[in-house]
Chains A and B, each alone.
Chain A
Amino acid sequence: MKKILFIMKKIAFIMIVIGSFALVACGSKDEGNNTPGDTTNSNETGNEDNNEKNVDQETDNSKDSSEDIREEIEGYTFVYNNVPIPLNQKAAPILQDLGKEQSYFEAPSCAFQGLDKIYYYNGFELSTYPNQGVDYISAIDLMDDSVSTEEGVYIGSSLEDVIDAYGEGYTEENGMYTYILGETKLNFLIENNEVTAITYLAIVEGLE
C-alpha cells in the first residue's frame, strides 16, 4: 500500500512538472484558433451562415454603417457608388450596400470549410476570405476605366498620375508599384508608362 502511494506521488509530481512545462511552452496559443481541431467547431457553426449567404444573419454587422467602419481603421478604401469598401472589414454590410452582384464565384479551401468568394460588379471584382465563420474583404481588383481609386487613378492613367496621387513612398518590382497604408496595400501595375492593373489588398497572414 505504501509503495503504491509512493509511486502515485511520484507520478503526480512528474505530471505536475510536465503540465507546468506545457503551460509555459504554449503561451499565447491558447488564445488563438489556428489549428484545424480548434477551428472545426467554430467553422461548422459559421458555415451554415456562410452557406446561406444571408447577410441578415449577421445581425450585428447589418446594423453597422460601412462609413462608420471606414473611419475606424487606417487603410486604403475603394468607393463605388458612394459605398466605401475598406479592406479587412466584415463583408456583409458592404455587400448589402452594393446590391446584387453581376456574377459570383466561390472557392472552398483545400480542407477547411469556409469559402473564398469573388463578387463581380461593374468595373471591379471584390474578394472575401472567411475568418471564424465571418467573411472579410480581402481584395478589390479594378477591371476597367469605368471605375477609379478615391484619388482619381484608373486603368489607363500614367505613372505620373499615380505618383502625383500617392507620392514617392512606394516599392517597385517589375513594374508593380506598391503603396502600403495600415494593413492594406494598393498595387499599380505599370506597363509602357500606363496603369494596366489596380488591386487593393488586405495584408493577412496566409492570404495570397
Chain B
Amino acid sequence: MMKKILINVLAIGLAILVLLFFQELFMPKYMSSIHEGNLVEEYYDEEKKHDVIFIGDCEVFSNISPVTLWEHYGITSYIRGSAQQLIWQSYYLLEETLKYEKPEVVVFNVLAMKYDEPQKEAYNRLTLDGMKLSLTKLKAVRASMMEDESMISYIFPLLRYHSRWNELSLEDFKYLFDKDKISHNGYLMRIDTKPVDVIPKGRRLANYQFGDNSYHYLELMTKLCKENGIELILIKSPSVYPYWYEEWDEQMVQYAKEHELTYINFLKLADEIGIDYGKDTYDGGLHLNLSGAEKFSLYIGQILSEDFGLKDRREDDEYKKIWEEKISFYYAMKEDQERELKEYGYLKSYGAMVQNIENQ
C-alpha cells in the first residue's frame, strides 16, 4: 500500500516537474527585445536594503538612475517599474515590496492616474508575469485582467504561452534556467539620442477628472505608506509625451495638499534640472536617455537628501561592497552601448530600433 502511494506521489511529482519545465521554456525571455519584461522579476535577486523605492511606469524606469543617486548622495534605491504600469499594479507591487523591506521614502509617478481601467493584456503580462506567486499577485491580477483574460493563466502561464511552441528560439533555451541582468536597480539604460522635434498638444477632452478607480488606489497607496511610516512623494517625471494636462496637474496638487503629501511636477522644472530635450532623450521626449536620467537623478537626489533627510551610506562598508558591483556593471554597460552605437549606429542589443534618417 505504502509503495503504491509513493509511486503515485513520485509520478505526480515528476509530471509537475515536466510541466514546470515546459512552462519555463515557453515563457517569453525578453532578453533580445522588450527587456522591460524582466524588470519586475529582477528585484527578487536583490539585496533588499533600499531607502527609496520608486514605483510606476516607463517614466521612472527610464528616467531615474539609482547608481547616480548612490554615487552623489549615498542614497540606496530601487525602481519597481514596468511598462505602462497601472496604478493598482503599482499599489500591489508596493504592498509586495513592503513584505521584503521598509524604505524611508516611496516615489510614485502619477501619469498612471490617467488609466482608470485595465488597458491591454500584453502590458499586464509585462508587469504581472514577473511577480512571484502570492496573494498580492492574485489581487493584482484580479484588478488588472481584461474581459477575456483568466486568473488561471497567470497562476499557470503555460496555459497562455503554450502557443509559442512554434516560435521557440535559441533564446528560450539559452535563458531557460537563468537570465542575464538587464537593469541597474530597475533602471533601463539607453545612451542613444533622438531629439525632441514636435511636441503634440493634448487633444481636448470632455472630462479631465481622474477616475474613481485611480483615486481609490492612490488612497490605498497613501494609507499604506502612512501606516508604515513611509513618506510618499508624488511626481510627474519630465517626459514631454504623453501630454500632461494642466487640469490633471491641478488635481494632483490638490490631492497632495489634502493628504499632506509632496507633489512635484518635474516637467515644469526641466530648465532648472538642466534637461536639454535636444540631447537628453532617446525617443523624441518620451523618455530620457542616460544623460537626461543622470541630470534628473542629481536633481531629485538633492531633494531626497536635503528635504527628506535620507542617509548618505557611502561610508558604510556593507553598502559600499553591494554598490561597487553595481557601479562596475553600470559603466560596463555604458561602454558596451557606446561600442554598439559606434558599430551599428543604433543600440541593436538594447531594444532600440533602426533610426529613420528621414525623421531625425
Q: A67-106: contact bitstring with B at CB < 8 Å (1 yes, 0 no)?
A: 0000000000000000000000000000000000001111
Contact flags (1/0) for A8-41 with B, using CB distance below 8 Å? 0011001100100010011011100011111111
Chain A contacts of B12 at CB under 8 A? Answer: 10, 14
Given A18-B15, A104-B198, A110-B123, the answer on whether A7 and B7 have CB atoms closer than 8 Å is yes
CA distance A28 to B126 in the complex (A): 21
- Report if A51-B204 is in contact (Cβ < 8 Å); known contacts: A7-B7, A26-B160, A103-B197: no
* Residues in chain B near residue A144, CB distance under 8 A: none
Chain A residues with CB below 8 A from B19, complex form: 15, 18
- Residues B354 and A48 in contact, CB atoms below 8 Å apart: yes
- Interface segment among B32-40, B295-303, B309-317: the answer is B32-40
* Interface contact B286-A107, CB-CB below 8 Å: yes
CA distance A40 to B58 in the complex (A): 19
Question: What is the minimal beta-carbon distance from A103 to any residue of chain B, in angstroms?
Answer: 5
Q: Is the CB of B197 within 8 A of A40?
A: no
Q: Which 5 A-B pairs have the closest CB atoms?
A: A37-B28, A176-B206, A10-B11, A111-B83, A110-B83
Is B328 close to A, CB under 8 A? no
The yes or no answer to B241 lying at the interface (CB within 8 A) is: yes
CA–CA, A175 to B14, complex, Å? 63
- Kindly state whether residue B134 has any CB partner on chain A within 8 Å: no
- Taking a contact as CB atoms under 8 Å apart, the answer to whether A104 and B359 are in contact is yes
Q: Does A173 contact B (CB under 8 A)?
A: yes
Indicate which residue in B57, B83, B120, B198 contacts A103 across the interface (CB closer than 8 Å). Answer: B198
Check B122–A34 contact: CB distance below 8 A.
yes
Q: Is the CB of A38 within 8 A of B198?
A: no
**Given A29-B160, A41-B167, A36 and B57 contact (CB-CB distance below 8 Å):** no
Contact in complex: A189, B206 (CB < 8 Å) = yes
Contact B14 A7 (CB under 8 A): yes
Contacts of A58 in B (CB 8 A): none
Considering the complex, which residues of chain A in the window 100-125 have a beta carbon less than 8 Å from any beta carbon of chain B? 103-113, 118, 120, 125
* Contact of B8 with A by CB under 8 A: yes
Q: Do B356 and A52 touch across chains, with their CB atoms under 8 A apart?
A: yes
A36 touches B120 (CB 8 A): no
With A and B bound together, what is the CA distance between A47 and B354 in angstroms? 9
Question: Is B99 interfacial (CB-CB < 8 Å)?
Answer: no
Contacts A175-B206, A189-B206; A34 near B57 (Cβ below 8 A): no
Is A35 within 8 A of B121, CB to CB?
Answer: yes
Task: Check A36/B34 contact, CB under 8 A, given A53-B359, A199-B203.
Answer: yes
B120 touches A30 (CB 8 A): no
Q: Once bound together, how far apart are the Cα atoms of A18 and B17, in whole Å?
A: 13
Is the Cβ of A11 less than 8 Å from the Cβ of B15?
yes
Nearest opposing residue in chain B for A17, CB measure: B15
